[in-house]
Structure 1
Amino acid sequence: MLPVVAHGEPEPLKEIRIAVPDLSVVATHSGGGLVDVVRDQQLFEKALAEQGIKVQWNFFKGAGPAINEAFANGQVDLAYLGDLAAIVGKSNGLDTRLLSATARDIKLYLGVLPGSGINSLAELKGKRVGIFRGTAAQLSFDAALVSQGLTEKDFKVINLDFSAATSALVAKQIDATWGASNLTALRARGLVNIPLTTKDLNGAGSIQSVLVGDGAFVDAHPDIVKRLLAAQKIAEQWVSDEANKAAYINLVATLSGYPATILQSDLGEEKLGQLFQTQLDAPFLRKLDSSIKLASEQRLIRKPFNTADWVHKSALLSQNP
């Protein structure tokens, strides 16, 4: 007699694969923000310990574009992404669900060579600018340009990842780049000037980041998603305590390889509890909708959509009791 095989029974979940853009300049990995706190305190692992489910953290130097490719190949269940990469993936047909905010209004910087005399985006017209295409930095740069009546067509934009862009700038192979801690680290060594940030543009170009999940995974494991969001909330509460700010900066410095003094310069006057809110509140969703519209206008995506069609409804309900 043949053995009876049960049909329709899902395989028990043994592992969750989480993708993160790797922002580190050393052998250890850093995603910055809530990612480093969640991972360091093993909050996801603790939430899943009773079920014996492992958490596999996968860090991608190729950032958002590489993570979208991994989603397309079925290699990722969840991912922390900047706004543009998440938007591009959804627009290109990836079945992702928007699960939470992870950062908002993160400032970026314009880095130029000392002595260049460039103090504004307008003064950069016609020059070579290194931008990591397909990432939040590109959308940030485009938003900053639009605020000044400019577009990428006004510049000679060269696609370079963050490390390559900073190297090219120091080597005087490009005239400017748009980035974050990679530029403040060079400024501390006197290698670049930072004439402006998104703060100087009234927030135009500030970055939002999100947690998204593969649609099939989210639908099949609603309890797991809820536990992960709850674990993430613990990290949010931890960084919201100003008493933990120095510990947070030291943690990210250790994992990323950037000196703590650089991160202190970046975050010194920032309220981490405001930067790293996870709520999918109306202001955050409006900003994402604006980013989707801008990405469409700048032809970074072909098919615009609304966040209302992207938000995972049960995740939204769990965050807005």
Structure 2
Amino acid sequence: MAPTALFTTITPRGRCPRPLFLVLTLGLLVAIAACTEKPKTASEPIRFAFQNRIGSALPVIAVEKGFFADQGLDVKPLRFNNGPACAEALYSGSADFGTMGDTTAIISASRSENLTIIASHCTGEHRHRLIVRDGSPYKTLADLSGKRVGIKKGTSTYGGFLAAMAAAGMPAGSITVTDLSPSTLPEALAAGSIEAFAASEPTPSMGELKGGRELMTFGGLGNRYPIMLLAQNEFLTNREADTLAFMEALKTAEGFVRAHPEETAAIMARATGLPPEVMQSAMERHTYALTMDAPILSSLSETAAFLKAHGKVQKVPDFSTASTDRYLR
């Protein structure tokens, strides 16, 4: 039967009676709405951008041990090897949550009002290190004047490096910074294309395994180098229950890291490619805890002021609105 026959045979004049016409129209509208309606927000996976680095033990453990799934969450891990890549995923809307060092978090918060800092999950005053080739003549940071140093710009390592130069009384530009991905730094040092590199773990330890030695850390400069967790504001507004469950999974991971250091080291060794015995030593440079307390905010504020003074950000974020501890209470 032709499609129009369903309607033309109902009445002699080939038209539906008004009540039936309304019923059919309403049914058609409902069908269209059912086909075009987006899936419920709560059913969408949570996109989590984090780093396969030692400082990100809580995210790695939460994924590997299934702690997100235990909370009934469908989390899609997005693994990167540096904070700026995580920040870009958040900024572009490709991620709902993202982890990054303090400098990257400050830059992100200063550029976008759509992101909120909700926690620090790791700190480590000495987790950023400057590595040179073993046997090189360099003994101090000043010895690297006029030399090439590999660093991923925009990272908390870069912020620590700038602070170390300022503390040493070295003018900006006295060391040539080569912007390189952390994964390429040990090879670049071994090949002689740079004289030193600065990075957070596991890159310094990998550099030592390939013939490097530590020149210095970026500790003692008043910065705890917290690794921050940021989220899209729209996600926080629309999926508060999932956010609380997400944080609960990270709290479970925090307890696991504290209770099972050897198993944690083994899991992190597989995630980073670092030997387990080296991993345990590197992890000792970190303190793993979910927090958003006054010392963290103070550290962020001081770093933000330093970055603004050196022209790395145009404004200092208002942390009273750009951060919150409500998801940790």
Q: Normalization by structure 2: what TM-score? A: 0.83
Task: State which of 316, 319, 325 in structure 2 corresponds to 1:304.
Answer: 316
Deviations 1:73-102 (A, max 9, x none): 321111111112222112112511111111
Aligned to 1:171: 191
Measure how far apart 1:205 and its partner are. 5.7
Measure how far apart 1:35 and its partner are. 1.2
Q: Distance in 2 between matches of 1:178 and 1:206?
A: 17
Q: Distance in 2 between matches of 1:186 and 1:64?
A: 20
Q: Distance in 2 between matches of 1:43 and 1:127?
A: 46
Contact 1:108–1:205, Cα closer than 8 Å, also in 2? no
Q: Distance in 1 between matches of 2:196 and 2:289?
A: 31
Measure how far apart 1:318 and its partner are. 4.4
% identity of equivalent residues: 24
Task: State which of 53, 56, 71 in structure 2 corresponds to 1:32.
Answer: 56
Residue aligned with 2:78, SS: strand
Q: Distance in 1 between matches of 2:135 and 2:172?
A: 24
**Counterpart check, 1:259 vs 2:275:** yes
Structure 2 counterpart of 1:42, which letter?
G
**Counterpart check, 1:75 vs 2:87:** no
**Counterpart check, 1:220 vs 2:250:** no
Structure 2: tracts of 5 or more residues without a match = 1-24
Residue aligned with 2:193, SS: coil
Aligned to 2:301: 289
Structure 1 pair 175/204, CA: closer, same or farther in 2 (3 Å)? farther
Structure 1 pair 263/139, CA: closer, same or farther in 2 (3 Å)? same
Structure 1 pair 10/97, CA: closer, same or farther in 2 (3 Å)? farther
**Counterpart check, 1:41 vs 2:65:** yes
Measure how far apart 1:36 and its partner are. 1.4
Contact 1:108–1:206, Cα closer than 8 Å, also in 2? no
Matching of residues 84-163 of structure 1 within 5 Å:
84-106=103-125, 107-163=127-183
Residue aligned with 1:105, SS: coil
Contact 1:20–1:31, Cα closer than 8 Å, also in 2? no
Measure how far apart 1:60 and its partner are. 2.4
Contact 1:124–1:155, Cα closer than 8 Å, also in 2? yes
Deviations 1:19-45 (A, max 9, x none): 11344xxxxxx8732111111111112
Contact 1:130–1:159, Cα closer than 8 Å, also in 2? yes
Structure 2 counterpart of 1:69, which letter?
E
Larger Cα-atom Rg: 2
Aligned to 2:4: none
**Counterpart check, 1:276 vs 2:288:** yes
Q: Distance in 1 between matches of 2:154 and 2:116?
A: 19
Q: Distance in 1 between matches of 2:76 and 2:88?
A: 18
Deviations 1:259-283 (A, max 9, x none): 1122122234x5x6xx111110111
Residue aligned with 1:76, SS: coil
Measure how far apart 1:222 and its partner are. 1.1
Q: Distance in 2 between matches of 1:151 and 1:210?
A: 29
Contact 1:147–1:204, Cα closer than 8 Å, also in 2? no
Structure 1 pair 150/124, CA: closer, same or farther in 2 (3 Å)? same
Aligned to 1:238: 256
Aligned residues: 297
What root-mean-square deviation, in Å, do the aligned CA atoms of Structure 1 and Structure 2 show?
Answer: 2.4
Structure 2 counterpart of 1:224, which letter?
D
Q: Distance in 1 between matches of 2:113 and 2:185?
A: 29
**Counterpart check, 1:11 vs 2:40:** yes
Contact 2:55–2:227, Cα closer than 8 Å, also in 1? no
Contact 2:116–2:231, Cα closer than 8 Å, also in 1? yes
Q: Normalization by structure 1: what TM-score? A: 0.84
**Counterpart check, 1:183 vs 2:204:** yes
Q: Distance in 1 between matches of 2:292 and 2:320?
A: 11
